[in-house]
A and B are shown apart, each in its own frame.
Chain A
Amino acid sequence: MARENILHKIRTALGRSAGQDAADGPPPRIVVPEMEIEDRIHSMRTRIEALAGRTMRAANGCAAREMVAGEIAGKTSVASNSPFLRECGVTELPGVRSGITDREELRQICAVADIGITSADYVLADTGTLVMIASPAEARLISLLPPVHLAVVPKERILTGLDELFSVVPQPAEITSSMVMITGPSRTADIEQFLVRGVHGPGAIAVVVVG
């Protein structure tokens, strides 16, 4: 068996025996800085805009809904089942498909929609990263197949950065099969190092911060 063979080779090379514990390794390096909420918002907006993403600020759910309505007017959209989007009334807007629980149906709708609307579980201030945790509320393909990704996020979910994310969620696998960190629109520079946005994922990304 390849398994036994490989493990045996490793143990022989390292002078270890089967079932032997690991020595204590270096503790993880997690340093969470202090940062005021307004500074977090400012940093995150600056970062996303530096990557040609767009950001907006809505005072409350109602205002967010109006902003989204402006963005999606005349276009077809698919929204995730996020409770926050429902609270804001985004899922009720005309032209928005939501409440999809079937994989095939979701895939077909996402493949033709102009805009995918999601919330985000967290946002990282220092890099402008959206953290998307797959669940019944958030499917993977909504932030991936449509050419535009629009995320609506309450300001309380903005963390300082990766260190805070992994201290808040030290074990992502316990809660999801997929945690994706999205930093700006899909891009490539594979031909002559020339930057092109939207190669496979969305070429445009917009984030509405609520609160």
Chain B
Amino acid sequence: MSVEFDQKINETLADANLQLAIYGSTARLKQGRIDTVGALPDYQELRTQANAVKKHTIENLDYYLEEFERNVKARGGQVVYCKDATDVADFVLGLAKEREARLIVKSKSMTTEEVDLNERLEHHGLESVETDLGEYILQLAHERPYHIVAPALHKTRYDVAEIFTEKLKVPRETVIEKQTAIARSVLREKFLAADIGISGANFLVADSGAVVIIENEGNARLTTSAPKVHIAVAGIEKVIPRAQDLATFLKLLARSATGQMMSVYASFLAGPRRPGEVDGPDEFYVVLLDNGRTKLLPDRSKRQSLYCIRCGACLNTCPVYRKIGGHSFPWVYSGPIGAILTPQFMGVSHEPGLPFASSLCGACGEVCPVKIDIPKILLELRSDVKKSETREKQNRWEKLAFRAFAWLMTKPSLFEMAGRIGASMAPSTDGKWISSVPAAMNLPPVKRWLSQRDLPPPPGRSFRELWRRR
């Protein structure tokens, strides 16, 4: 584990207010999911269907991307493939220059967070404004999202009051409704003046050439309807075969994300406005971003990481996320899904401790609406991390201990004897058994290993003994 990761975790754990904020918010989102999902009689069938559709699409990804591209073109839109952050920025900058655009409005998109799009555009003199309330607050504060669906989860009304006073030069305001009204009026002006709107996409529909955007505030609708140019930025894995598949995915997404039956707005957008339509953009572009996604495809097991629909349910249920929060994670994606995406996108050495920052309790896999087996992928990534370690970096003691343990496991009588020795050291009543066990526990490598792990006291009787006496 890197020093930085360790430090951020400790900072978060030490901040009592932050702990309350994370715990409270995730608890509400988690309960909302349980309530709405519980009311769906065919929830498990929907998950199975969603998983099957995603699996099929990823296995035939080139086919569906080409179909999507053909249909976007047929509707008068354009598709732009981008391999990385520079490609995306170059495309947007080039188009902005041609259209003499100065002001860009943006709706929430994790994909654009991946490529630091705002920073890149602003570096070249464009104004690019986030319009989702949470994202807007974070843009003003120069922070990245804390959570996939609740980006400003860690900010209180008092934090927001300070940010607005400082950045917007408005009188201090701590009433949440009034803060929201301030953002509405500032951003309304931006929407009406913007030259280009940039959105993300929750789904790309191959048979329609359409992007689907899910939101609650209406900022994505404004972003995609008011300016004359709409650019949707999406990862290549977002494609699904048919519009009819939305009947499955729309039922799962909002329920898993926020516990709503439907999000307030689900926009299905296919190309620029058509003859006769009164409003809508004149130009429609879809940026299909790789940015490392193709690296995930060769591995038949791990490629399921690309099924993710970014609902955030795994974050809300994860005992680790709920303690260490979003900013402890080393990249834009946090929680269990971040723990499997980051090492695969950035390489396992980016933060080798990440796949280990899990209790493997399995909750993330259980709540995933597309049935990604996150715990299994975490284990595979742990193995990848170990394999990638150089000889000097390897913990030789740990390796030796596990080799001895593996050997012991193959010798039933020795294993049983070891169990009995353990049992004989069982605590009396004070529970402080560790101090009475041999000095080996205090050897530096063992002590270090135990600094982040609990060694539960052995039971007085082993399972085998109980089984024999049953």
Using Cβ atoms and an 8 Å threshold, which residues of chain B touch A179? 267-268
Indicate if B434 sits at the interface (CB-CB under 8 A).
no
Given A163-B247, A176-B274, A190-B151: A26 and B280 within 8 A (CB)? no
Q: A144 contacts which chain B residues (CB < 8 A)?
A: 218, 221-222, 225
Nearest CB in chain B to that of A133: its residue: B268
Separation of A126 and B42 alpha carbons in the complex (Å)? 14
Neighbouring B residues of A22 by C-beta, 8 Å: 56, 60, 63-64, 241
Cβ of A28 and Cβ of B184 under 8 Å apart? no
Is A13 within 8 A of B298, CB to CB?
A: yes
> Of B45, B176, B247, B261, which is within 8 A of A194 by CB?
B176
Pair B63/A21 contact, Cβ less than 8 Å: yes
Residues of A within 8 Å of B, CB-based: how many?
Answer: 78
Which residue on chain B has the smallest CB distance to residue A134? B277
B155 CB contacts on chain A under 8 angstroms: 191-192
Q: Which of A11, A28, A180, A191 contacts B244 (CB 8 A)?
A: A28
CA distance A167 to B276 in the complex (A): 26
Instruction: Report the separation of the CA atoms of residues A22 and B206 in the bound assembly, to the nearest whole angstrom.
Output: 12
A23 located at the interface, meaning its Cβ lies under 8 Å from any Cβ of chain B in the complex? yes
Contact of A26 among B53, B260, B279, B284 (CB under 8 A): B53
B-facing mask of A7-20, CB < 8 A → 1, else 0? 10111011010101
State whether A180 touches B265 (Cβ < 8 A). Answer: yes
Contacts of B279 in A (CB 8 A): 103, 106-107, 134, 139-141
CB distance from B48 to the nearest CB of A (A): 9
Instruction: Kindly state the separation between the CA atoms of A100 and B278 in the bound complex, as whole angstroms.
Output: 8
Q: How many A-B residue pairs have CB under 8 A?
A: 270
Of A29, A194, A201, which is within 8 A of B248 by CB? A29
Contacts of B262 in A (CB 8 A): 124, 127, 129, 181, 183
Within 8 A of A (CB), among B135-176: 137, 150-153, 155-157, 160, 176
A199 touches B75 (CB 8 A): no
Tell whether, in the assembled complex, residue A180 and residue B277 are in contact, meaning their CB atoms are under 8 Å apart. Answer: no
Residues B184 and A200 in contact, CB atoms below 8 Å apart: yes
Interface positions, chain A 159-211, Cβ under 8 Å from B, are 162-163, 165-167, 170-173, 176-194, 196, 198-202
B residues 255-269 touching A (CB-CB < 8 Å): 258, 260-269
Q: Chain A's nearest CB lies how many Å from the CB of B469?
A: 51
Nearest-neighbor residue (CB-CB) of A17 within chain B: B62
Which residue of chain B lies nearest to A194 when distances are taken between CB atoms in the complex? Answer: B176
**Which residue of B53, B57, B151, B183 contacts A199 across the interface (Cβ within 8 Å)?**
B183
Which B-chain residue is minimally distant from A24 (CB atoms)?
Answer: B56
Interface string of B228-255 (1 = CB under 8 A from A): 0000000010000111111110110000
B131 proximal to A (CB < 8 A): yes
The reply to whether the CB of B106 lies closer than 8 angstroms to some CB of chain A is no
User: Is B297 an interface residue when CB atoms closer than 8 A count as contact?
Assistant: yes
What chain B residues lie within 8 Å of A136 (beta carbons)? Answer: 276-278
CA gap between A81 and B279 in the complex, in Å: 13
Whether the Cβ atoms of B247 and A10 lie closer than 8 Å is: no
A59 on the interface (CB 8 Å rule)? no
**In the complex the two chains form, is A176's CB within 8 Å of B56's CB?**
no
Q: Name which of B120-128, B208-216, B338-346 contacts chain A.
A: B208-216
Residues of B within 8 A of A139 (CB): 277-279
The residue that A162 contacts in the complex, of B150, B221, B250, with Cβ under 8 A, is: B250
Interface residues of A (CB under 8 A from B): 1-3, 5-7, 9-11, 13-14, 16, 18, 20-23, 25-26, 28-31, 47, 81, 100-103, 106-107, 111, 124, 126-127, 129, 134-136, 139-141, 144-145, 162-163, 165-167, 170-173, 176-194, 196, 198-202
| A-B contact list, 27 entries, CB within 8 Å | A2-B83, A6-B288, A9-B290, A11-B62, A20-B62, A103-B279, A127-B262, A136-B276, A140-B279, A140-B280, A165-B247, A173-B208, A180-B265, A180-B268, A183-B260, A187-B217, A188-B216, A191-B133, A191-B134, A192-B21, A196-B180, A198-B184, A199-B184, A199-B217, A200-B219, A201-B221, A201-B222
Given contacts A3-B81, A190-B151, A191-B155, could you give 6 more A-B pairs where the C-beta distance is less than 8 Å? A6-B294, A28-B242, A29-B45, A136-B276, A186-B218, A191-B157
